[in-house]
Structure 1
């Protein structure tokens, strides 16, 4: 398995992986699927913040971007990490997160944030294992597929000055 920077050629596979989560789960609150062109634009706009894992096929991806608008948040990012079905439990998520944290630290990021659906207990456990601490729980702030969803906020200090 290798972790490498994402490129435009990865956009279709990343969109398919992301859209499966958007369409079929309540692990993300959005219902708007991403086109390969939109994903290619994200990859292009985040050249040092978008990574893929390959293990004979696309095994997952991680990316990060601005947490909130405004200069006061310039050193805080929020990330997305998705591991493809069939690749769970192999350390791929941990490898992707380690790469994202290193890249973020190299860019002067101080804090990385995870916004996780309360329905995604595995993601909460994964982030806890990766050293993230729960810093917020917002009950029923999202709605998808007719279900009210909690938002769990977790964060990790990357200890930059």
Structure 2
């Protein structure tokens, strides 16, 4: 298995994974499928912080992070996304992706990573807990997909306990 930064050439494989998650699961509340062009734009925007897992020459998963909320007070906190192809589950690929993403986040100066997890995906709650994330809240019935109301489970991990950043800084970390 190889964990590496995504490239535009990965967009088609990533589109297949993303659209499987959107179309066939309750992992995300999104209903509009993605296009290859959208994925290429996301890869370009996130740069080296958009990671893919490759197994036997095939892209089988991806992970990235982005802003948790707008406003400069949240600049040291990010929300991450991680998705695997069906064949990649249970093989340690998700763990490797998330650990690599956490290293990138620390290097970028982030303090906290947040996971917003569908209540229809209890395996993801256990996965995150095993990697040091703590459940910090539950938002009842905030998602609606496939004719059912779904909760969002919020989990977080404090990445670094270093001193406080400069309170006058408006710069993004990293």
- TM bin, normalised by shorter chain, reads over 0.9
Q: Does 1:53 align with 2:53?
A: yes
Any unmatched runs of 5+ in structure 2? 164-174
Q: What residue is the counterpart of 2:171 in the other structure?
A: none
Q: What residue is the counterpart of 1:41 in the other structure?
A: 41
Conserved 8 A contact 2:138-2:154? yes
How far the C-alpha of 1:48 sits from its partner, in A, is 2.5
Any unmatched runs of 5+ in structure 1? none
How far the C-alpha of 1:14 sits from its partner, in A, is 0.6
Larger Rg: 2
After superposition, give the CA deviation of every residue in 1:30-65 in whole Å (9 maximum; x if it has no partner). 101111111111110111210001112112110111
**Alpha-carbon separation, structure 2, partners of 1:151 and 1:33:** 21
Q: What residue is the counterpart of 2:8 in the other structure?
A: 8
Q: What residue is the counterpart of 1:30 in the other structure?
A: 30
**Alpha-carbon separation, structure 2, partners of 1:79 and 1:73:** 14
TM (normalized to structure 1)? Answer: 0.97
**Aligned residues between the structures:** 161
3-state SS, counterpart of residue 91 of structure 2: coil
* CA RMSD after TM alignment: 0.9
TM (normalized to structure 2)? Answer: 0.90
**Alpha-carbon separation, structure 2, partners of 1:70 and 1:49:** 21
3-state SS, counterpart of residue 149 of structure 1: strand
